[in-house]
A and B are shown apart, each in its own frame.
Chain A
Amino acid sequence: MTVAVFEQLVFIAMAGVAIAGALGVVAARSVFTSALGLVLALIGVAGLYILLDAGFLAVLQILIYVGAISVLILFAVMLTPHLMEGETLLNKQWAMSLIVSLITFGFLGMLAYGTDWPVAAQAVVPPGGALVVTGESGVTQELAMTVPGAMQETDAAGNPIVRVPGSVERLGRAMMTDYLLPFEVVSALLLVALVGAIAVARE
């Protein structure tokens, strides 16, 4: 068994958790168990993020989606005790929705299968943080520069080095430089939603 096989096993386990949770959401008879299935699916997706070395994203996924949004959904469900009794899963429109879902599924599948996913040769950034490429290691400096956020610098002795910051730092830099406007627009949107929610709740 090699490291790659181990990674494959972890991927299968995490994808399994996500799919099982998603099936639970649509197949559960009570809304409360549906919401719990959603939590499971979100945790599975967080596991996939960890496998992709996106630890920050994974942790935020748990903090925001599992710790806050699912809690709010459950809070709303909890105020409806009559939903504890199972209701029927099918109604008159099941055939129509089956067709629409199948078409969407097929379309998305074709799209995913047909896309030529660019797998750029990239230097591997250690999850702990900054990687400094001096040219003496196996990674060439040209390769390291393909990582977004990599910076050409000189060390104390004046030799050229490439510094590749960790994922949190790269994300922070991107948000405060290249994507500052979208970032601010989203914050303003959220603020408006917040004020609106309070205004509606007070009436």
Chain B
Amino acid sequence: MTAAFSLLQLDIRAALQEALAGVLSAPMAELVASLLFWILGGTLIIIVIQVGMLYATWLERKMVARVQDRFGPNRVGKFGLLQPLADMVKILTKEDITPERAHRGVFNLGAILVVPPAIVVFAVVPWGASHIGVDLSVGFLFFVAVASTAVLPIFMAGWGSNNKYALIGAMRAVAQVVAYEIPQVLSVVGVLLLAGTLSMQGLVYAQGPITTPGGGYPGVWFVLLQPIAFVIFLLATTAEIERTPFDVPEAESEIIAGYHTEYSGIKFGMFYLALYFATIAAAALGTTLFLGGWQPPLAVLGFIPGPIWFSVKTLLLVIFFMWLRATLPRLRVDQLMAFAWKVLVPLSLANLAVAGLVGRLTFDAHRSAPPGSFQAGPWFVFLGFTLANVLLVLLFFGLLSWWRSHRPAPLTFQSPTEAGA
């Protein structure tokens, strides 16, 4: 056990560079060590998330079944544990159909390109202190930017299928992703403001104790300082990855299966794969931003290596997404857009203002306080934020309910022909 733990804490890239230093010149050794590290790490990440995805489908089916008072898969293997493998064989051997009127190139490319963005984002996910592909100075923005390109293959699928349901599904997907991207990023800006960095590793360190580099302020998990941002982030992310209750782009009771209506066999499998990869990636982002990343919740638990903490927290968030799906019914498409623009965007803007104001005030007091005093510790920052957050929630929902009871009658629009007639 201890040997496995110490292996998990090894800095693989530094070890590789040291081994190569005797053979190659210093800059070449660094380059080759980095390339080897990326190839090894990339392969490892793909294997891990692939296996994770297979068993996420199993877990989701089991969980949803229990919520609905069923057993779920239990025929293949003990507790149905081999069910994902059987499904994989089934999906690989199914007939692959391309509709006659489809635009063949765009149709196929859509299915191929839907997976890469969901894998590429793992390049900046910090699994541990030295377990990160690249710690970019703009890591968070890289994650968001790559994730935002995932709508393009959805477009290609919807348009290339030449099917009205696919087209409607793709348009719903794009409108939804564009709308929910705004509260998702706005809610995180408060966190970035407090951490003073965009680097994923820097964000993890900012939530850690003062002994770690870059740590000290705020020194507690951001979920404690920015609980409103965390809730907005979770809701907006559920919409981004199109999971129930925000899965109107593939609402089977309305538009069959949305943009992947026409896909079958492994091409449909690619969309399924991308959905689960995106779920795991979103959970990993939430862990990094709000749950302290790979840092243990208590300093005494520090003997367990970072990658294990990170995986446990990510798994908890994945289970949360599944729990939402099992519990809540799907929203209507107009409710969905109104919720993004009329509730989440204003709330995240107000939250950003609070984060900036309280952050500035507590930061100054925190820096000028003598070490060891109450103001220098993380609980001072936490108290300030809790007070502000409670006020914000009371004010926002008070205003919202006041407006709901006092709003004017809805405007009625007349088309010019109607008005003339």
Contacts and interface: CB of A to CB of B under 8 A. Distances in A.
Contacts of B136: 55, 127
Nearest to A74: B155
B420 to A, nearest CB: 16
Given A32-B159, A55-B136, A78-B158, A67 B174 contact: no
B170 interface: yes
A59 B158 contact: no
B396 interface: no
A56 B152 contact: no
A74 to B, nearest CB: 5
Contacts of B167: 78, 81
Contact residues on B (Cβ < 8 Å of other chain), bracket? 20 to 34
A167 B31 CA distance: 22
Interface residues of A, number: 31
Given A3-B27, A32-B159, A84-B103, A39 B152 contact: yes
A56 B171 contact: no
B28 interface: yes
A193 interface: no
B323 interface: no
Contacts of B158: 78
A66 B149 CA distance: 6
B171 A75 contact: yes
A149 interface: no
Q: Which residue of B105, B146, B158 has the most chain A CB atoms within 10 A of its CB atom?
A: B146
B148 interface: yes
Interface stretch (B61-69, B137-145, B324-332, B342-350): B137-145
B137 A84 contact: no
B199 interface: yes
Interface in A50-80: 55-56, 59-60, 62-63, 66-68, 70-71, 74-75, 77-78
Nearest to A32: B159
B170 A67 contact: no
B137 A168 contact: yes
B137 A129 contact: yes
Given A55-B136, A71-B178, A78-B159, A2 B149 contact: no
Given A84-B162, A168-B198, A55 B138 contact: yes
Contact of B141 (A56, A81, A166, A167): A56
Given A67-B151, A74-B152, A127 B31 contact: no
A6 interface: yes
Contacts of A60: 141, 145
Interface of B: 27-28, 31, 103, 105-106, 135-138, 141-142, 144-146, 148-149, 151-152, 155-156, 158-159, 162, 167, 170-171, 174, 178, 181, 198-199
21 contacts: A3-B28, A33-B106, A55-B136, A60-B145, A62-B145, A63-B141, A63-B144, A66-B145, A67-B148, A68-B148, A71-B151, A71-B178, A74-B159, A75-B174, A78-B158, A84-B162, A127-B136, A128-B137, A129-B199, A167-B137, A168-B137
